[in-house]
Amino acid sequence: MNDTNSIIILGALLFLMLIVSMVVQGWRTRRSPMGRVVGIASDLRYNRKLCERINGGGPVARFKTGNWDKNRERIEFTPSEVRDELAKLYETIGEVNATIDASQTHGSKSYMGSISIDKMLEMIMPLQEQIQNWVYENMNNPEYLPKKRGLLHR
């Protein structure tokens, strides 16, 4: 091998190691307590924007529940009032998603008349603010951040 090929291979290996490191760090962050809460906050932000789009006459789509479904039992460190309100909201979202599914299955928009988007917005807005405040208050708390592990730390 000549020097040019060696440099290219070394550069490719370093680039690959950088990508793997970023993927592992992202995975570790999502699994941390803070990552769980931020994931739920992200779903709330999406759901709020979806409500606003539907109110504006935009297309109806399913509301996101993935982070809540995955982490509802794993956010016991958040205030109980927030958890209770989240449970109520996501119960309502589950009912709305079932209505949306029925509407799409039957090809009828008459099902959509029973959905109260304004009520959902009233539930989402204060929750989003409470979670955002909790994140700001705890963003430097090592208890909630991802654990830093290197090659020598186990």
154/126: higher pLDDT: 126
Query: Distance (Å, rounded) from C-alpha 115 to C-alpha 60?
Result: 11
- 60 with 14, same domain: the answer is no
Q: Please report, to the nearest 10 degrees, the dihedral formed by the alpha carbons of residues 39, 30, 71, 117 taken in order.
A: 10
Residue pair 124/93 in contact by the 8 Å Cβ criterion: no
Q: Could you list the residue range(s) of the whole structural domain that residue 11 is in? A: 1-31
- 57 with 96, same domain: the answer is yes
Q: Looking at residue 131, what is its pLDDT? A: 92
pTM of this prediction?
Answer: 0.75
Residue 1 pLDDT > 70: no
Total domains, the chain: 2
Note the pLDDT tens digit of each residue in 16-44. 777 766 655 555 555 678 888 999 999 99
- 67 with 105, same domain: the answer is yes
